[in-house]
Amino acid sequence: MGVKLKKFVDSLPIMETLKPNRKTKHESYYVVSMEETRQRLHRDLAPTTVWGYQGQYPGPTIDVNQGERVRIKWVNNLPSTHFLPVDKSIHDLDHLPEVRTVTHLHGANVAPESDGYPEAWYTKDYKEVGPFFKQKVYEYNNFQRGATLWYHDHAMGITRLNVYAGLAGMYIIRDHKERSLGLPEGPYEIPLIIQDRTFNRDGSLFYPEQPNNPSEDLPHPSIQPFFLGDTIVVNGKVWPFLEVEPRKYRFRILNASNTRSYQLYLDSGQSFHQIGSDGGLLAQTVKLEKIEIEPGVRVDVIVDFSDYDGDTILLKNDLGPNAAPEDETDDILQFKVTKSLSGKDHGRIPQYLSEIPTLTKNNITAIRNLKLVSTTDKWERPLLLLDHKMWNDPITEKPQLGATEIWSLINVTGFSHPIHIHLVQFQILDRRPFDLDRYNQDGQIVYTGPAKPPAPNERGWKDIVSAPSAEITRVIMKFSPYTGHYVWHCHILEHEDYDMMRPLLVVPQEK
């Protein structure tokens, strides 16, 4: 569909680290503006219109210390009309401004007014605001452990379009524990933001306005149930290369794609050493030949190039045996081990990383059984829902402040969903398969095997969990330290926008 582009002709960009507008011993203050700009994403493409934080795609990296109080004024300086197709048949969007933004710091433990609630949107110069708009300056106390977070747009009904347009960036929290481990650092610690895109011949971004065979009465534009681009973009460049030294490197990898999951591996056959997940360091390093990473997920890995001096290595995506021959998204990034060693490699791959206390010893105050379901709307379009409820239905998940709950995610759809819960970092308990055909016949859950514990690299703190089809996925979490409105949703952005997202209200403890 899109234009074919030569691979590995552009060098991997490294996003600049954002400097605060002012800094005191008490806080760091930033003003971050969302701007439309034109950026060359490939040598052979004309500049592409994108939206970026600080006018760059992806946005600059925000790098902070644990406990550092950060205040950010997120400024919408975007045009009043979208350059991507907005379906106004959902969420009463025909009555709302076409371009709205609100920034969510994904994975952060923050007060609700700084969480980026989907209805806390606002327009350029704050001329119009959503029903949940409370403050212009967001506050992040960063009390949580060191971790790779990310910030992105979260506006109701158009998150998929705003993120696809470019509104995403990485946010890193650092702590003393991580610094004490001797991990690769400085120029040997590199963020990788992986996304898929499709381009028109003039360099513009393509996003479908309609399904392949739309009916005559279908809204135009019409939301898609998923989107898979035909081109891989890393840090804002199409299929780039990175020159590295024959030494250990740390890569903080984020899947910021709308729908696409990746099965990452290195064509050299060497291993990844995964040291961290969504919520920071694992308990122990996990050696893996392949890593699955769903939308919104982060993995923190070390790759050792010491034995590959002069070699070229590809970071690949395993598309499986049924991939179409013309699908080129099996390639992601090229490593050229061509730089001279600048000095002794002091980077370490520790076996033991951190302590992760289990939440299972807490008093469990609620066990919620929540179904992931699929139906259709009045136009017969796919409609994915959480527990048979749409966004505007009354709030049903109301955990008390300080409560520890177990949520059982019962996936009765035909495919996996990456489920993200705001405010908390949780732990995965297990997954248990059941007979989906039997369920579709009579609504009964009949197990087809025992519960399986999470994979070793899933045994840390998480804020997104893969909930596979025909399985019950259980997670445990403690809701603290804030009360107020949050959300939980599928992080396939097309699903999140329509209508696989639900409000979550943390209520005060009963006295």
Residues 233 and 165 in one domain: no
Q: What is the CATH number of the domain that holds 123?
A: 2.60.40.420
What's the pLDDT score for residue 484? 97
What's the pLDDT score for residue 325? 81
**Number of domains the chain contains:** 3
Task: Show the tokens assigned to 123.
Answer: 């327009």
HSE-CB for 207 with a 13 A CA cutoff: 28
Rounded CA-CA distance 3/17 in Å is: 32
Phi and psi of 116, rounded to 5°? Answer: 85, 50
Domain boundary among 107, 140, 173: 173
What's the pLDDT score for residue 133? 85
| Cβ-proximal residues to 355 (8 Å cutoff; 6+ apart), any chain | 283
Residues 400 and 293 in one domain: no
Would 108 be classed as within a structural domain?
yes
| Burial (CB count <10 Å: 0-12, 13-18, 19+), residue 429 | buried
Would 181 be classed as within a structural domain?
no
Domain that holds residue 90: 22-173
Would 180 be classed as within a structural domain?
no
Domain boundary among 146, 173, 200: 173
Please give the model's pTM, rounded to 2 decimal places: 0.97
Over 269-314, what HEC string results? CCCEEEEEECCEEEEEEEEECCEEECCCCEEEEEEECCCCCCCEEE
What pLDDT, in 10s, does the model give residues 271-298?
999 999 999 999 999 999 999 999 999 9
Low-confidence ranges of the chain (pLDDT < 50): none
What's the pLDDT score for residue 3? 85
Task: Show the tokens assigned to 67.
Answer: 């406990």
CA dihedral 383, 388, 391, 395 (to 10 degrees): -170
What's the pLDDT score for residue 321? 81
What's the pLDDT score for residue 11? 98
Rounded CA-CA distance 66/156 in Å is: 30
What's the pLDDT score for residue 217? 83
Domain boundary among 301, 336, 371: 336
Rounded CA-CA distance 139/208 in Å is: 36
Would 348 be classed as within a structural domain?
no
